[in-house]
Amino acid sequence: MKSTNTTIATLMIASAALLGGCASTSSDPYNTGTYGAYGSPSSAAMGYGTIDSIQVTRSQAGTSGTGAVVGGLVGALVGNQVGSGSGRTAATVAGAVGGAALGNKVEGDRAAAGRDMYQINIRMDNGEYRSVVQDSVYDLRVGNRVRIVDGRAYRY
């Protein structure tokens, strides 16, 4: 019986490590970093132009799933301490589901505010228009000449 609990705990920890490795840690989900052949930026990812307008937008706050995984593991471990036989199995499953829901809610509450993002509309030198969304405008103003590199606008 002791080896079963150890096996379950080991599998849960290994699952958490595996799923944690799949989570994205990117702080800028809008920057796609388009590259063409041989690692050089493609023409869609770079160019020169003039800023037409800048608008503030609010990014959607999301969860990475880490809270759900950790909550599910803790809930399963707590539920595994209750009852015996099939009651223990039911308590483990209920604890995992409840813990995952609670962990996801806690993670979502911590990131609920979202953040301000800036949509910069640029008239390119070749006549086309592009919109770039980034987390800061630094010293960029309407009318500035800019260069787009990897989906970000820089003053030129």
3-state SS record for 6-27: HHHHHHHHHHHHHHHHHCCCCC
Between residues 92 and 108, the one the model is more confident about: 92
* pLDDT score, position 55: 92
Q: Which amino acid is at 125?
A: D
pLDDT digits (tens, 9 = 90+) for 101-127: 888 888 877 765 667 889 999 999 999
Lookup result for tokens 């920890």: 13
Q: How far, in Å, are 28, 119, 128 from residue 123 at the CA level?
A: 23, 13, 6
Q: Which ranges in the chain belong to alpha helices (H)?
A: 2-22, 66-79, 86-110
CA distance 118 to 124: 18
Specify the range with the lowest mean pLDDT, choosing from 39-43, 78-82, 142-146. Answer: 39-43
* pLDDT score, position 36: 40
Record the tokens describing residue 94, joined without a space. Answer: 């209920």
CA distance 97 to 78: 12
Provide mean pLDDT across the span 134-141.
89
* pLDDT score, position 155: 92
pTM of the model: 0.45
User: How many residues in total does the chain contain?
Assistant: 156
pLDDT digits (tens, 9 = 90+) for 3-54: 666 667 666 676 666 666 555 555 544 444 444 443 444 445 578 999 999 9
Between residues 63 and 91, the one the model is more confident about: 91
Between residues 64 and 103, the one the model is more confident about: 103
CA distance 119 to 114: 15
